[in-house]
Amino acid sequence: MIIFTLLLERNYSIKQSELQATNIANRFSLQQKNMLDDIERLARYIAQQESKHDELLTTCPDYFELFKSLYNNVANIGMIDLQGNISCATSGQVKNINIADRDYFKNALNSDMLSVGYFQLDRSLQTTTVNFALSLKNTAGVTKGAVIIVIALDWWNAAINEINLPDGSLVAIVDSNTKILAHYPKNTTLIGNSIAQSYVESMQADSHFITDEQGVIRIFSRSTIYNDPHNNNLDIYIGLPVTDVLAQINHNFIISLTVFITFLLLLTFIAYKLLKVSIFTPINNLTKATDSLANGVMPSEQNDTPNSPELKVLYQRFKIMAETRLATEANLKNKHDELTSLLSALPDSYLKINNKGGVSNIGGSFNIPGVTQSVNNLTLASFVTERNALLILNNLPTSTSNNSNNLEFTLQSQTDIKNFEARINPMQTNHEFVVVLRDITQRKQNEEALHLAALVYGNSSEGMAITDENGIIFDVNPAFSKTTLFSKEEVINKTISVLSSGKHDKTFYQALWAELTSTGRWQGEIINRRKNGELYVEWLTIDTVYDDNNIPVRRIAIFTDLTEKKQADALIWKQAHFDHLTDLPNRLELKKRLNECFMRVENNAEQLVIMLLDIDHFKDVNDTLGHHYGDALLKFVSQRILESAKNAEFVARIGGDEFVIVFSKIKEQHIKQIAENILLSLSSAIYIENEELFISASIGIASAPNDGENTEQLLKAADQAMYKAKVNGRNGFEFFSHDMREKAQMRMLLLKELRTAIELEQFELFYQPIVCLKDLHVHKAEGLIRWRHPEKGLISPADFIPLAEETRQINILGQFVFSQALQTLNDIKAHITNDFQLSVNVSPIQLSTPDSGIDEWGAMLNAANLPASSIVAEITEGLMVNPEALTQSRLKALVQSGMQLALDDFGTGYSSLAYLQEMDTDYLKIDKRFVDNINKGSQELVLCETIIVMAHQLGLKVIAEGIETKQQMQLLLEAGCDYGQGYLFSKPLPKEQFMSLLTTSQIIALK
């Protein structure tokens, strides 16, 4: 306490000296602040006076000199314009000096506060200075420049060195860059240098005492004597010497401390002598006696008994205590051995730990994965992993509580994962606990299995019932009650026969029990009755549970309600075999029934007859009125067919608008009458909502076994007959004939060979000349495709073009024709100088198919270096009125490209003069049918003349096809026809012959 008091007195003395030094520093700083305040007042006075002028003066006012003489610290006063140029200065003006780059000048222009600069070499005064600047305003308050006040650092250094400070003091005035502006004691070499780093660090430390290299101790303080708005500071560092003061304080402290320690040592020596006589010697004797008692050696009464009566009594008490202790320890050891044997026999493991996780003992049946019975590691984490150890330590019971805490955790070995239960019991010893670890892996698995079984039993969609060996119900699950409508309470202790429907006889149940008794299992379909009397079908499985003596003790019945499945199966079967719209058998059911009918056909006298009916133009109904009307129409048609063919075996709908009527055991003479009746019934008006419809149908009739030996053949035969009825004008019926099958087979063969012919390049282009009727000169030709079959020879286009259009192979053929025509035109161009045209036929399919290739024709012409007018595209009249946008746009594109159009077979289709004008057609071709019977005064001649006159009026040229006689040529020439084409002039020729004809003579010689 005395030392602490001495320290306090020393610190108080130091604080007093520090306070005295601080007061001196504050007075010095205040003097410097007052000097800078005078500078600011001077600057503001000048700014106030100059605000009376709109423009910046170019010569300094007289009061500038007055102020300069009054303020010894001011070396120069000047005014600077906005560009940084000196407008006036009291110390003369130096040319080419500009301070626009000085921060203090820019800061002054941007604020109304006095801005301070940094250490600098003044270019006007040629000495080191620090400058101050304040913005100048005009009468409107707009900045027009700045006033600059310059303090010479020589003056400042001299000024602070005139101040009376203690010997050894240090003073430094620095700018924001820590450059020294003035220094005490005077040292010109330091001006402009950075202040020592130790000064700066001392201002940030707890103690401001600094010892220099000469051992002089100074107390430093720092204060800001000016701070402008842009955080440019002028700071003053003042260091006052305190070496002598601190030395005197320390000398006084050491003298006081020495006197105190000497006095303390004297007191200690006296106390030791007294304690040794009264306490230490008796205690030493007592210690020796205690050591003897601890080693089990009893001190003798004569020699070792202490002289002190009190210690003698204490010695006797120690002797009694030692005897009692030895007996207790022996008893505890026996108990410990018994407990250890008992714990080792139990399946649990035991750990004795402290509250830090340290293990001091283990025991029991130690079967923790990866851990041996050892305490070498002595940490809980070594036994149960770091994570589980933390879990146990976080759940330690409080030492004041007698309760134990239980928790569970898992340990993973190399092969499996085990679950453990930890029971933590606090010991009487503070901060120690016993952790009992039990492997509960099997228990967890059993619990999970039981829980899963309970979930399955309670949530299964299948009904379950548990009975005894005789069928008395013990328990049922919720699905049982949901299916049977019996609650659990209503069926407990009743036999399973409570569900009996009466639909199974006694024999059924006897067989069930016999199989159940012999095998322990029965499964099958059974009909039972719900509580409300409703019958249902279920799939029932019964299993038997046996005891250890193989005696049945339980039967478990599991069943699935099949009612909805049966209904769904029936619905699915009906949907698969019957038309959903008319409720008639569909194609699948038709084939099934026809197969059965074929098995019953015995002889030709009782034929199996089918009629395949297709509604004529049914698509028009859907396209114009919508599918709603189409569906309603199909229902009406099916009803009328059923009413008209009541003696039919059945009626089926096999497609969109196709029906099949099947007759068995019908006479041949009745077939025609029935077909007529069906067509007649369909011819009358049908009313659907507000629409009145009239329809017709085409029927194909085929019979077995004559027209087909199986279902597929018979249906195909009826389809071919129906197709023929449509070809013959619809609204009729046709019987199948074998020539239909032959034609169909030939058509299929031809279609197959057509695809092969394209790949094998069996097609070639023939050319038929088109001559001018006036001079028989050949100006044009028509390219006609031919198929040179390796076995059948040349095949007519009439046989394969329809097939090509049907399969869209016409697009490939069209591209072939066009490319061959271009090649031929180039060959012709090499021999004939005048323009020559080739006509190519364009199929409607080429114009309506997006990827037909017709859009590439323009590019192909350019690549062949041929004008577009060298090609004439021949189209039919139907194409001109085709409403498809793609067809019309392509026709117009052909015309716009420069190709010419020829209207083929004019007069046989939908002739339209409006379309002729709109499409800018170039040629009309009169069909061969008009030319064949042309004679003088014939109606055909009148028609030809009319066509020719009309075409000429529209600006079109006319080409007559099929001219075979000179009379036909002469009549057409007299009628004004321009060109002719036909066998009179030349048949279609292969390219070699055609080129020979052109190169020999372009004029046809008539025979």
- Asked if 125 and 111 touch (Cβ cutoff 8 Å), the reply is no
Q: Please tell me what DSSP assigns to residue 396.
A: P
pLDDT at 923: 92
Distance, CA of 699 to chain centre: 58
Q: State both tokens at 392.
A: 């146990």
* Residue-averaged pLDDT of the chain: 83
Task: Report whether the peptide linkage leading into residue 185 is cis, meaning its omega lies within 30 degrees of zero.
Answer: yes
Highest mean pLDDT out of 246-260, 876-890, 967-981: 967-981
Bridge pairing between strands 463-467 and 552-561: antiparallel
Kindly state the helix (H) or strand (E) to which residue 505 belongs, with its residue range: none
pLDDT level of residue 731 (50, 70, 90 thresholds): very high
Domains of the chain and CATH, by start: 4-243 (3.30.450.20), 349-363+381-446 (no CATH), 462-567 (3.30.450.20), 578-736 (3.30.70.270), 748-1000 (3.20.20.450)
Angle between helices 2-50 and 62-70 (to 10 degrees): 160
Helices and strands, counts by H and E, the chain: 31, 37
pLDDT at 311: 55
- Asked if 35 and 173 touch (Cβ cutoff 8 Å), the reply is no
Distance, CA of 14 to chain centre: 75
Q: Point out the least confidently predicted range of 27-36, 121-130, 555-564, 893-902.
A: 27-36
pLDDT at 204: 47
The Cβ-side half-sphere exposure at 89, using a 13 Å CA radius, reads 21
CA angle 61, 67, 68 (to 5 degrees): 100
How far is the C-alpha of 234 from the C-alpha of 232, rounded, in Å?
A: 7
The CA-to-CA distance between both ends of the chain, in Å, stands at 157
pLDDT at 302: 43
pLDDT level of residue 383 (50, 70, 90 thresholds): confident
Coil, strand or helix at 419:
strand
* pLDDT beyond 60 at 911: no
Q: For 934-972, write each residue's pLDDT tens digit.
A: 988 888 899 999 999 999 998 899 999 999 999 999 999
Highest mean pLDDT out of 112-126, 867-881, 981-995: 981-995
Q: For 26-48, write each residue's pLDDT tens digit.
A: 777 887 888 888 888 888 888 88
Q: Tokens 């041949």 belong to which residue?
A: 668
Residues 6+ apart with CB under 8 A from 760: none
pLDDT at 51: 85
Q: Point out the least confidently predicted range of 83-92, 186-195, 248-257, 592-601.
A: 248-257
Q: State both tokens at 159.
A: 């000024």
How far is the C-alpha of 541 from the C-alpha of 765, rounded, in Å?
A: 79
pLDDT at 207: 44
Largest CA distance in the chain: 184
The Cβ-side half-sphere exposure at 212, using a 13 Å CA radius, reads 15
Q: What is the mean pLDDT of residues 76-87?
A: 88
- Asked if 675 and 736 touch (Cβ cutoff 8 Å), the reply is no
pLDDT level of residue 1002 (50, 70, 90 thresholds): confident
pLDDT level of residue 400 (50, 70, 90 thresholds): low
Q: What is the mean pLDDT of residues 871-889?
A: 78
Q: For 423-461, write each residue's pLDDT tens digit.
A: 888 887 767 888 888 888 888 888 787 777 777 777 777
Q: For 572-614, write each residue's pLDDT tens digit.
A: 888 888 999 999 999 999 999 988 888 877 555 457 899 999 9
Bridge pairing between strands 349-354 and 359-364: antiparallel
* pLDDT beyond 80 at 304: no
pLDDT level of residue 846 (50, 70, 90 thresholds): confident
Could you tell me the CA-to-CA distances from 597 to 605, 609, 610, 665, 709 in Å, in that order? 15, 10, 11, 10, 12
- Asked if 579 and 586 touch (Cβ cutoff 8 Å), the reply is yes
- Asked if 511 and 523 touch (Cβ cutoff 8 Å), the reply is no
* pLDDT beyond 50 at 205: no
How far is the C-alpha of 1 from the C-alpha of 692, rounded, in Å?
A: 127
* pLDDT beyond 70 at 657: yes
User: For 166-192, b where at least 16 C-beta lie within 10 A, e where not — what string?
Assistant: eebbbbbbbbbebbbbbbbeeeeeebe
Instruction: Pick the closest to residue 771 from 537, 907, 963, 483 (CA basis).
Output: 963
- Asked if 756 and 973 touch (Cβ cutoff 8 Å), the reply is no
Q: Point out the least confidently predicted range of 361-365, 736-740, 911-915.
A: 911-915
Residues 6+ apart with CB under 8 A from 481: 487, 488
pTM reported for the whole predicted model: 0.41
pLDDT at 206: 39
Residue 597 φ then ψ, to 5°: -65, -40
pLDDT at 606: 58
* Long-range contacts formed by 532-536: CB under 8 A, 24+ apart: 532/485, 535/501, 535/503, 536/483, 536/561, 536/562, 536/563
Highest mean pLDDT out of 162-166, 379-383, 677-681, 701-705: 677-681
How far is the C-alpha of 959 from the C-alpha of 889, rounded, in Å?
A: 26
Q: For 810-823, write each residue's pLDDT tens digit.
A: 888 899 999 999 99
Q: State both tokens at 873.
A: 């595209």
pLDDT level of residue 929 (50, 70, 90 thresholds): confident
- Asked if 426 and 397 touch (Cβ cutoff 8 Å), the reply is yes
* pLDDT beyond 50 at 847: yes
Q: State both tokens at 436.
A: 């009992």
State the sign of the Cα–Cα–Cα–Cα dihedral 599, 600, 603, 605: negative
The H-assigned helical ranges of 731-843 are 738-760, 797-806, 810-829
pLDDT at 29: 80
pLDDT at 398: 75
pLDDT level of residue 288 (50, 70, 90 thresholds): low
Bridge pairing between strands 957-961 and 923-926: parallel
Q: Tokens 């040529």 belong to which residue?
A: 969
How far is the C-alpha of 464 from the C-alpha of 1005, rounded, in Å?
A: 105
How far is the C-alpha of 780 from the C-alpha of 958, rounded, in Å?
A: 13
